A = this chain, B = another copy of it.
Amino acid sequence: MTNDVKRVVLAYSGGLDTSVILKWLQQTYGCEVVTFTADLGQGEELEPARAKARLMGIKEEHIFIDDLREEFVKDYVYPMMRANALYEGLYLLGTSIARPLIAKRQIEIAKQVGADAVSHGATGKGNDQVRFELGYYALSPDIKVIAPWREWDLTSRTALIEFAEKHQIPVPKDKRGESPFSTDANLLHTSSEGKVLEDPWEEVPDYVYSRTVNPEDAPDQPEIITIDFERGDAVAINGEGLSPATLLAKLNDLGRTHGIGRLDLVENRFVGMKSRGMYETPGGTILHLAHRGIEQITLDRGAAHLKDELAPRYAELIYNGFWFSPEREMLQAAIDHSQEKVTGTVRLKLYKGGVHVIGRKSPYTLYSEKVVTFEDDAGAYDQRDAAGFIKLNALRLRLLGRRDGR
């Protein structure tokens, strides 16, 4: 690949770092920059990004600002929730799941405006560079990818700020000093890592949290809610039908109030190192547990156990950036096949950081009081069948016992 780039689509937040990247791309590659700013529910105004892009000479038709919140929840968060995916047993993948959508839209724009390159602001140590770039390459195999953090010599914050000042890029006051940590946010979660979090023995300081109240400050009264599911997806809260993004936003509010979804994690990055992160996933945590709740009565054991065995792999694929891969799609096909009757209502109690499923019902329930009851079951189940069931399950163990005589 050559360095001959004519037009590049940059994932542009409007912040200091990507503004520096914008300028650096113009300078280094002498190319036209197209900015793409996505609203994924990160909770920031996007119009300032437009103004900044204009100031840096970006043509009006080359400034893209898209509200992707509904697509994000419907086509990315929800399919992942159907899988009950948890990375390393605990992490709800809030950052990982947003990257493929950004990559996809960036490539669409590149095709639309005839760009020959794309660029992003992720560093060379993290997972996000992988997630962005695997997405780019899967969707546009011959695109040129520019990852400034791996290329330039602005390797310290001081150098970055000097570059900014030299090029009239406004530097917000709070960016002058070292930030005590770095964050990423979208409708599903906020993550923080670095600096003050780098010693995994030290508790995460309370000021790092921004999406949830401290459980200790949450209401002393629990709150009971219901969530309705249809075919594996949440469709209503307390009986009120809501679009995916609206529903998740509402769960975020509930989660914030009750201090739900904080996670302090040391995780294994795809690039080979361990890192310590702090995650807040208020609505997602509720959704995850509620989905398990509705599956408990609507999903057959065979399907449920197969899902449980596939889920770690599925989560790993998303974490590592392989959303647009045949194997993720194969797993999704299996998972989605299982969700046809995952319809019904879950009742949950939210209290001081905890989410407790306290009831579930469904027109498609497989739970049969008649079969399970300790009382007379009117022949629904013949206890004598259990004898044969056990005898044949034991047969191989008995043959083994006879041989090995332990």
Could you tell me if A401 and B305 are in contact, using CB atoms closer than 8 angstroms? Answer: no
Could you tell me if A389 and B393 are in contact, using CB atoms closer than 8 angstroms? Answer: yes
Chain B residues, Cβ within 8 Å of A401: 137-141
Given A194-B374, A394-B133, A399 and B368 touching (CB < 8 A)?
yes
Could you tell me if A335 and B330 are in contact, using CB atoms closer than 8 angstroms? Answer: yes
How many residues of chain A are within 8 Å of chain B by beta carbon?
Answer: 132
Chain B residues, Cβ within 8 Å of A381: 125, 273, 395
Is the C-beta of A357 less than 8 angstroms from some C-beta in chain B? yes
When C-beta atoms are compared, the residue in chain B nearest to A218 turns out to be: B352
Contact of A403 among B1, B84, B324, B364 (CB under 8 A): B364
Interface residues of A in 225-281 (CB under 8 A from B): 262, 264-268, 271-276
Could you tell me if B330 and A338 are in contact, using CB atoms closer than 8 angstroms? Answer: yes
Given A275-B372, A361-B200, A388-B385, A305 and B316 touching (CB < 8 A)?
yes
Is the C-beta of A43 less than 8 angstroms from some C-beta in chain B? no
Is the C-beta of A61 less than 8 angstroms from some C-beta in chain B? no
Chain B residues, Cβ within 8 Å of A302: 322, 325-327, 396
Which of A63-71, A162-170, A292-300 lies at the interface with chain B? A292-300
Could you tell me if B376 and A156 are in contact, using CB atoms closer than 8 angstroms? Answer: yes
* Nearest CB in chain B: distance from A145 CB, A: 8
Could you tell me if A134 and B388 are in contact, using CB atoms closer than 8 angstroms? Answer: no
Is the C-beta of A400 less than 8 angstroms from some C-beta in chain B? yes
**Alpha-carbon gap, A89 to B88, bound state (A):** 13
Could you tell me if A216 and B322 are in contact, using CB atoms closer than 8 angstroms? Answer: no
Is the C-beta of A45 less than 8 angstroms from some C-beta in chain B? no
Could you tell me if A303 and B326 are in contact, using CB atoms closer than 8 angstroms? Answer: yes
Is the C-beta of A369 less than 8 angstroms from some C-beta in chain B? yes
The 3 closest A-B pairs by CB, nearest first: A388-B388, A124-B383, A272-B395
Question: Known contacts A129-B390, A272-B395; can you find 6 more A-B pairs with CB under 8 A?
Answer: A130-B389, A133-B394, A200-B360, A271-B392, A273-B368, A274-B366
